[in-house]
Structure 1
Amino acid sequence: MKRVAVYTGTFDPLTLGHLDIIRRAIALVDKLVIGLPTQSSKSPLFSPEERLAVVRREVAALPGEIEVRQFDGLAVSFASSVGAHIIVRGLRSGADFDYEDQMAAMNATMAPDIETIFLVAAPGLRSIASSLVKEVARGHGVVEHFVPPAVAADIYARLR
């Protein structure tokens, strides 16, 4: 049986932390499906289509079977729709764990056959949050420490 996992997020923008979780997750499964919700309660810098293209571009050279697609609705429903039995979540802090633990418990109630696994962010990447990257960029700060070079260029081009 093929081990399929999903990793969902808005990825606005895709950070080095996200890529770290993606690299580590694909090493654990046969296929990783990265899901980007079409709707977000956050105020995105990039459209859903732009984010989809960026994530596809940035994972194209990574080893393993990785698919990137959009979805509507709940992540647990998306996981089920793609045949995944694992949801991957990245953790940066205890606050992340508190939120993600509640979500994992709710998902387990809705879909008992889907397991949530937590991957703790690498120590040097724990401070990176997409919202903070956008704040730094809007304040004319340097974002290359937090995102891949092409993503930094995308951000600067958008904010010009």
Structure 2
Amino acid sequence: MSRRAIYPGTFDPLTNGHVDIIARACHLFDEVIVAILVNPGKQPMFTVDERVEMLNEELGPRFPRVRIETFEGLLVDYAMKCEAQAIIRGVRSVKDYEYELPMILMNRRLNPLVETVLLVAAEDTSYISSSLIKEVFSLGGTIDGLVPDLIVERMNNKIRAGL
């Protein structure tokens, strides 16, 4: 049986922290599904279709056992639909752990067959978040080295287009 995991998130934008977690998850699982959450309540920088395209372009050549999908609804239901045994979550701090723990316990209650695996962020990416990246970028700061070059390019294109 293939070991399959889901790494969920909005990935708006994809950061080097995300890429690090994906790379490490690939060492643990035969297949990693990077699942982009469709959240109509949020106003993202990139549309869902743009994020799918960027993640495929950035991750596809580097990680052949990764596939990019989108999902709505309960994560554990999506995990069962995908026949995934685990949900991958990256934690940067105790604050992240405290945020994740209630969700882990609820997911376990909803479906005890799906485990959550916490991967601690690498030291050099532990302070990076998509929100912080967008804030620094919007104020004219450099994000080089914090996100893949493709993402920097696409963010610059958004600004040039006035979006």
TM class by shorter chain equals over 0.9
Q: In structure 2, what is the equivalent of residue 11 of structure 1?
A: 11
SS at match of 1:109: helix
C-alpha contact 1:7 1:87 (8 A) present in aligned 2: yes
Cα distance in 2 for residues equivalent to 1:72 and 1:63: 24
Q: Which residue of 2 is the match for residue 113 of structure 1? A: 113
CA distance in 2, matches of 1:23, 1:42: 27
* CA distance in structure 2 between the partners assigned to 1:87 and 1:158 by the alignment: 32
Q: Percent same amino acid at aligned positions?
A: 38
- Determine if contact 1:26/1:64 at 8 Å carries over to the other structure: no
Matches within 5 A, 1:69-108: 69-108=69-108
Structure 1 residues 114-123 or 29-38, which shifts more? 29-38
Normalized against structure 2, the TM-score is what? Answer: 0.94
Distance 1:137 1:41 in 2: 22
Task: State the alpha-carbon separation in 2 of the partners of residues 125 and 22 from structure 1.
Answer: 13
Q: Report the Cα offset of residue 72 of structure 1.
A: 1.2
Report SS of the residue matched to 2:6.
strand
Answer yes or no: is 1:145 the counterpart of 2:124.
Answer: no
1:40, distance to aligned residue in structure 2 (A): 4.8
- Which amino acid is the alignment partner of residue 51 of structure 1? R
Structure 1 ranges of 4+ moved more than 2 A:
40-43
Task: Indicate the larger mover: 6-15 or 50-59.
Answer: 50-59
Distance 1:13 1:73 in 2: 21
Tell me the equivalent position of 2:68: 68
Cα offset, 1:159, TM superposition: 1.6
Aligned partners of 1:79 and 1:58: how far apart in 2?
Answer: 24
RMSD: 1.1
After superposition, where does 1:130-141 map in structure 2 within 5 Å?
A: 130-141=130-141
- Give the conservation status (yes or no) of the 8 Å contact 2:60–2:67: no
Contact 1:30 1:64 survives alignment (8 Å): no
User: What are structure 1's unaligned runs of at least 5 residues?
Assistant: none
CA contact (8 A) 1:92 1:120 kept: yes
**Residue ranges of structure 2 left out of the alignment (5+ in a row):** none
**When the two structures are aligned, how many residues end up with a matched partner?**
160
What is the CA–CA distance in structure 2 between the aligned matches of 1:148 and 1:19, rounded to whole Å?
9
Give, in angstroms, the shift of residue 62 of structure 1.
2.1
What is the distance in 2 between the residues matched to 1:40 and 1:89? 22
Q: Does the 8 Å contact 1:10/1:40 carry over to 2?
A: no
Matches of 2:94 and 2:64 in 1, distance apart? 30
